[in-house]
Amino acid sequence: MTVLRDVDLTLVAGQITVIIGPSGGGKSTLVRLLNRLEEPSSGEILLNGRNIRLHDPLQLRRKVALVAQKPFVFNGSVLDNLQRPFIFQGDKPPAAEDSRLLELLALCQLSAEWLQRDARSLSVGQQQRLCLARSLAMGPEVLLLDEPTSALDRPTVNSLASSLRKACRKWQLAVLLVTHDLHLAKTIADHLAYLEDGCISEQGLPDELFARPRSNALQCFLSEPSKKQV
């Protein structure tokens, strides 16, 4: 079964690319292809000009980090969770006072007072920000986010979005965000792409796509009342 075809997309360092589109269109499959959780049957995916097939999947996933829809936290404290990427990379884990750790906490709006708390006792929104901080601790070049805000209320979405924007600019990350939240898409995207039925049929500046969708399909998608209002 062909899920994606004719997909031509470039992620740029320091920019957030957002993918929107109907359910079943292939958004998650596209994300999974980018860090080799799936393999393409044809076509090429390049990281800095080099085919990702030439990268070991585990090494690749340090450079291309994924934050999934459902936050996944490891057993143990918030600090344990944040130390994991360092241990995984063979580095000395940072202590609670380490400036790298404190910077990550501040960026992801996590309180340093929570470091000794059981990570599973955090709210979903806090766990989502912890997952973002843990992914950032890997020092990725590309950050993939597959509907990370679907379970969150508007203030929490706004705070995650602000963390994401700061991290993207500060560390020159190439970010790919999949969302059904059109308000988020419009406010956070530097580049917006509409993926339907396995094809990216329209892409460009968010204001242009929202103001002048070329196809009826995108026009209908943007105006559907069930979507979060812009």
Ligand X SMILES: Nc1ncnc2c1ncn2[C@@H]1O[C@H](COP(=O)(O)OP(=O)(O)OP(=O)(O)O)[C@@H](O)[C@H]1O
Q: Which residues bind ligand X (CB under 6 A)?
A: 1, 3, 21, 23-29
Q: Give 3 or 102: the residue with its C-beta nearer to ligand X.
A: 3
> Nearer Cβ to ligand X, position 27 or 134?
27
Nearer to ligand X, 21 or 148 (CB): 21
CB of 181 to ligand X, least distance (A): 12
Q: How far is the CB of 146 from ligand X (least distance, A)?
A: 7
What is the residue-wise DSSP string for 92-130?
PPPPTT-HHHHHHHHHTT--GGGTTSBGGGS-HHHHHHH
Check the CA dihedral 162-136-121-117 and report its sign: negative
Please identify which residue in the block is written with the tokens 């076509």: 43
Please choose, from the candidates 166, 211, 167, 163, the residue with its C-alpha nearest in 3D space to the C-alpha of residue 186: 211
Structure tokens at 228: 């979060």
CA angle at 169 for the pair 145 and 94, rounded to the nearest 5°: 75
Closer to ligand X at the Cβ: 24 or 204? 24
Quote the least distance from Cβ 64 to ligand X, whole Å. 17
Q: CA gyration radius for the chain?
A: 18
Strands 199-204 and 191-196 turn out to be antiparallel
Q: How far is the CB of 7 from ligand X (least distance, A)?
A: 12
2 vs 59 by CB, closer to ligand X: 2
List the one residue out of 213, 132, 207, 206 whose CA is nearest residue 173: 132
Nearer to ligand X, 150 or 158 (CB): 150
Cβ 197 to ligand X shortest distance, Å: 9
- Least Å distance between CB 80 and ligand X? 31
CA-wise closest residue to 69 among 159, 177, 180, 146: 146
